[in-house]
Amino acid sequence: MLTTRLRNLFTNKRGNVAVIWAFAILPILAVVGLTLDSQIAFSKKSRVQQSLDSAVLAGARMLQSSNSQENGRTHAETYFDSLVANNAGLNCEPVVISYPADEEIRADVRCFQDTAMSGIVGRSQLEFNVTSTATYGVGKLDVAFVFDISGSMNSHGRLASLKLAAADAATTLLPLPGSSSDGDVRIAMVAYNGMIDAGQYFEEVTGLTKNRTYTASYTGQAEECEWVCRFAIGRYCLSWINQCRDVERELTATKSVNSTCVYERDGDFRFDEHQPTQRSTPDLIDTLPAGQRRATTDGTNSSGYLSTAYAEYDSYRNSWNVVGDDCLSVKPFELSDNATQIQLYIQSLYANGGTAGHQGIAWGWYLISPEWSDVFDNSAEPLSYDEPDTTKAMIIMTDGEFNSHLYGSQGNSTEQARALCDSIKEENVVIFTIAFQAPPAGEDVLNYCASSGEHAFKASNGAELSASYQSIATSISDLRIKY
């Protein structure tokens, strides 16, 4: 009997299951808990990485605008802290900001995520480290500022606000002298009203000499005189008289013009970046018929010349009228990294006249287009579109409605501006626009021209104008993440 009881005791397994389960449940819970807590920590690490990326970009932008590493460091730290605040169970040590190389800003941070289930095996927190580095050099950049200097810019201090905002933006864009990016950023500028003064580029874009003569033929009365013998003896005249009379004949009137004002161009290249045919000095046209607006007369304008101020003749009054010589003496400023010259140009702006916005847009494109390398040559030669690590951008500003044009057959100023912007964006040129106290019609065309809704800015006062230019200046900087 005793043997039977002992045998039954050792063969009874009903209590073993509970014992085995009691020993197995702890590691199972530990594995499940660690897995779940690791997933939570991984999710938080991704969020911290995004926050750190944003923080170093913010610090880079602050450094660009202030030229102070301390400001960049403080701004990045504050920015990161604001992004990771109020994250349940997440605790991060103070972020460490450093500058490991020229034009680089780095952030390192160690964080701890509270666990929910891993505590049963003594893991109350999971630790992870995150690093992010941003370069804050702007790469190679060709950017064109397009300024509205029509008469309305004289109102309400607009011109003064523009000068201040543009000057600050240029300072933000240009790298510090002596830095590794010095010379990589070049700024071009053009100011428009009803026309544009082509200045030193006049001959290259029109095929005409700056000093040219317009001619007109007309039928007029001209005095014709001849000597007539009053008294003769035989074959000898003893007394002569000069008799004169008015007769009709073909006459030529001339008018000299030395204006360098230009309009838009017509023909096949009206909305194109095609470079005008470059003539050698002896081949420049110096004499034209009255009323001719460009060097050639073919309807397609196959040479791509811009039209210019011209002289018309009134045969009835026997007088000349010069058309289109009222542009302001503010010439296009070709690509340059000379901070002093850029600031001087901005401060030289003055305002008057109408608003031919499409002409300003066209010239802004020309100034940065590689197709115009024979016009803007040497150090101002625009970079190729496919130049590595290169950005091409335009900043178009107006305070009014585009209302002035020469060739109505190809659309009014607004319609021509839209067509030009379509062509410019096809070349991947980034277009930013600023409507400064502009009416709805002016704002609409700028919204159309902008590369996207985020590239279109609206300013109702000088402070907002400065903020818009600053935002654009940092946006077109080639800020990129490096891990």
List, in order of start, the domains of the chain with CATH numbers: 17-135 (no CATH), 140-194+327-478 (3.40.50.410), 201-323 (no CATH)
Q: Are 192 and 332 in contact (CB under 8 A)?
A: no
Confidence of residue 341 (pLDDT cuts 50, 70, 90): very high
Q: What is the mean pLDDT of the chain?
A: 88
Q: What is the mean pLDDT of residues 465-475?
A: 91
* First-last CA distance in the chain: 78
pLDDT of residue 204: 97
> What one-character-per-residue DSSP string does 13-66 give?
-TTHHHHHHHHHHHHHHHHHHHHHHHHHHHHHHHHHHHHHHHHHHHHHHHHHHH
Provide the 10 A C-beta neighbour count for residue 88: 8
Q: For residue 135, what are the β-bridge partners?
A: 104, 480
pLDDT at 221: 72
pLDDT tens digits, one per residue of 76-99: 999 999 888 877 788 899 999 999
pLDDT bin (cut points 50, 70, 90) of residue 134 is confident
CA–CA dist 93, 191 (Å, integer): 52
What is the reported pTM? 0.74
- pLDDT bin (cut points 50, 70, 90) of residue 301 is very high
459-465 mean pLDDT: 95
Least confident of 242-251, 282-291, 388-397: 242-251
| pLDDT band at 42; cut points 50, 70, 90 | confident
Region 171-194 average pLDDT? 87
Residue type, 284: L
Rounded Cα gap, residues 357 and 438, in angstroms: 13
Indicate whether 222 pLDDT > 90: no
Q: In this predicted structure, which of 117-131, 186-200, 237-251, 459-473 has the lowest mean pLDDT?
A: 117-131
Q: How many residues are recorded in the chain? A: 483
pLDDT of residue 176: 77
pLDDT score at 138:
63
**Token duo for residue 54:** 């944003």
Q: What percent of the chain has pLDDT over 70?
A: 88
Give the least confident one: 154-168, 174-188, 189-203: 174-188
Q: Would you state the pLDDT for residue 8?
A: 57
